[in-house]
A and B are shown apart, each in its own frame.
Chain A
């Protein structure tokens, strides 16, 4: 079946612009995660959704970052007033349930802020 998909695959934007990143999880997966990965670095947790609610937003780096999920499916990560330090790969993962251990990742969105 289809895996996690993310769009766009690449995004180049100018400093100060807003961007929206989209994640389509595996069908039926109720838990969804957003991570950030800077070049050559490890995963940085951003936010976790169970259904449409976000019990853990602790990783969002600033109030410029927000995320929502609708229909227990698609999620959108929005970065307002982008800064150069926001440049990274943004990864989405989903798991069958909040108690399920295995997370399946999408290919990521490569964001470059000029």
Chain B
């Protein structure tokens, strides 16, 4: 699976959009971009994933650049409860022989400020 690079930390004002970048310049054609987050003292939480097209769900939006070398997770109206470590990972489909287990990097510590 391709390596990802994320900023170590970011701050965001409550109520504002939080835009979390992720660089995955070595991504290959069949690799998906996944985002998880981990709130302090809780288990990781799935947020969203995508392949090429932008995706939106009730939690967030995922914007993937046309060359797929980077992506941005957008939390449209950040709240204090969104303070967490956000992990961007790139995974080949399991059907292609990719390992099933998840591996997180260091992630981005997002702090939402009141």
Contact = CB atoms under 8 A, between A and B. Distances in A.
Interface of A: 4, 31, 33, 35, 42-43, 45, 48, 56, 59, 91, 93, 98-108
A10 to B, nearest CB: 10
Contacts of A106: 43
Interface residues of B, number: 19
Interface stretch (B8-16, B21-29, B87-95): B87-95
B42 A103 contact: no
Given A98-B94, A99-B93, A105-B44, 18 more contacts: A31-B100, A33-B101, A35-B101, A35-B102, A42-B104, A56-B100, A56-B101, A59-B101, A91-B43, A93-B43, A101-B49, A101-B91, A103-B102, A105-B46, A106-B43, A107-B42, A108-B42, A108-B43
Nearest to A108: B43
Nearest to B42: A107
B103 A48 contact: no
Contacts of B93: 99, 101
Contacts, number: 56
B105 A107 contact: no
11 contacts: A35-B102, A42-B103, A42-B106, A43-B102, A56-B100, A99-B95, A101-B49, A101-B93, A102-B49, A106-B43, A107-B42
Contacts of A33: 100-102
A101 B49 CA distance: 10
Closest 6 CB pairs of A and B: A105-B43, A45-B101, A105-B44, A42-B104, A108-B43, A107-B43
Interface of B is mostly: loop
Nearest to B107: A42
B103 A43 contact: yes
Contacts of A43: 44, 101-104
A101 B32 contact: yes
B101 A105 contact: no
A101 B34 contact: yes
A102 B49 CA distance: 9
Interface in B17-50: 32, 34, 42-46, 49
